[in-house]
Amino acid sequence: MVNFAGLEFIFRFLPVFLVIYYIFSEKYRDTILLLGSLLFYAAGEPRFFLLFIALTGINYLMGRKGNQDIQSFAMHKWQKRRRKKWMITAVTLDILVLIAFKCLSTFVDSTLLPMGLSFYLFKMISWQVDMYRSVIAEDVSFRSVALYFSLFPQVVSGPIMRYDDGDFALGRTYSPERFEKGLFFFISGLGMKVLLADRLAILWNDLQMIGFQSISTPLAWLGAYSYSLQLYFDFWGYSLMASGIMMMLGFDFIENFNHPYASKSIGEFYRRWHITLGSFFRDYVYIPMGGSRCSGGKLALNLAFVWILTGIWHGNGLNFIIWGAILGLLIISEKLIYGKLLAKVPLIGHLYVLLLVPLTWVVFAITDLGQLAVYFGRLFPFIGGFGLAVNEMDIVKYSQMYGPLIILGMILCIPKVCGKISKHRNHPLVLLGLTVVFWWSIYYLSNNAGNPFMYFAF
């Protein structure tokens, strides 16, 4: 049930929940949404349900304890210190819980990582810090905070919405137009996941089965671009589905991707990619360390720390640390050396992004460092000493099989294409296309085991 691209969720949980949600008046909808979200999490992760409840309660109590003087006209220094102490204690507890379960899943058993742990703990941390900073002004209730932590469209893999984005105190906007727009995003995301990402995943699996040492250089490059699109449409698809459901529930749309492959630098790419995670690291790690308002050396240190941390968050293998270090080095170089050149000559910036980003995703994808070296040897055979292609004609076979999907994916990376589709979503041809996408996706799901979203692993 936790997989949005699953028949049980699409035809059972979601429609039944929406009917119940809208049958009752607005006064009861937060309670219904909280109960439905807890049921959703309990069904997907029964072993760690009590952990989630405990962390929710502890974070709420610590947050309220630290902010009990927030209504004071003028706080004394000792009150400010107490508020800071409670915030630091709560954030430290959340970080230690995350580290503990990451270590358990790495060194003991991979199944010991609770579903959605990183995402709901990041929400808890942002809530604690925003309460301390008085970004959240109202006197929050336990129901509102628990709902914010447990919202079922976001609890598994984000987006990492901020508490003040949810209008928990002011209420939400319900309208047929908002519901229809949410449905549009949900179906669009479903199609990206099932018809694009899952199909492209077969190519990457085939390359692993063949063995990287046996593929030609053209096929290695095709695989790198294919994996880049697979990851993009898998997580963009999930984000659209999650934000679409949120809109159907009366919330505002949370943008998590903004056409990153149209970027002109790596830094811009990651401002457009997984926006809510990037803004989390920016606001709660990078800026408190000093951000960009410092010397070049301190700036480089801040960026290096954030990107190493980002790599560690994404996975337990050494390749993730290398991936984060490479991105950190590229972004530092853009900030200090050649970023202005990329901005002045957009064509160079676009080519730079389209060349380097797929190569970094190869580092992200291959956890075995030996196999990673083999793959780069196939990408650059003369530099790596691997020689010419073993199977020179394999590119013809796989281009015929996956070329149309890759071309479609590249077209959808163009901002104007998606913008026009979204703008004319009520046009009969677009509605017909959405209907075909939905039932074609359902056909695939009914004939194949649904693949979980890739970011479920994080």
Give the model's pLDDT for residue 450: 58
Domain boundaries, the chain: 7-172, 178-457
Long-range contacts (CB closer than 8 Å, 24 or more residues apart) made by 67-75: 67/131, 67/132, 70/131, 70/134, 71/139
In single-letter form, the type of residue at position 175 comes to S
Looking up tokens 């390749």, which residue turns up?
Answer: 319
Q: Measure the CA–CA gap between 441 and 194, rounded to whole angstroms.
A: 6
Token pair 């995943």 is found at: 201
Instruction: Report the pLDDT value the prediction gives residue 294, as an integer from 0 to 100.
Output: 82
Tens of pLDDT along the chain (458 residues) come to: 568 888 999 999 999 999 999 999 988 999 999 999 999 999 998 999 999 999 999 999 998 887 765 555 556 676 778 888 999 999 999 999 999 999 998 888 888 899 999 999 999 999 999 998 888 876 788 999 999 999 999 999 889 999 988 777 667 889 999 999 999 999 999 999 999 999 999 999 999 999 998 899 999 999 999 999 999 999 999 999 999 999 999 999 999 999 999 999 999 999 999 999 999 999 999 999 988 888 888 899 999 999 999 999 988 889 999 999 999 999 999 999 998 999 899 999 999 999 999 999 999 999 999 999 999 999 998 775 565 556 777 888 999 999 999 999 999 999 999 999 999 999 999 999 999 999 999 999 988 765 655 555 55
**So what's the pLDDT on residue 381?**
85
Distance CA 41, CA 52 (A): 9
Whether residue 381 has a cis bond before it, omega within 30° of 0: no
Q: What is the pLDDT of residue 454?
A: 56
State residue 75's pLDDT score. 63
Amino acid letter, 243: S
* pTM for this prediction: 0.92
- The set of residues, in sequence order, having a beta carbon less than 8 Å from that of 218 and lying 6+ positions away, is 389, 395
Query: What residues act catalytically?
Result: 314
CA atoms within 13 A on the CB side of 141: 10
Spatial neighbors of 64 by CB under 8 A, at least 6 apart, are: 140
So what's the pLDDT on residue 401? 93
Residue whose tokens read 């995350």 = 98
Q: Pseudo-torsion of CA 290, 292, 297, 300, nearest 10°?
A: 100
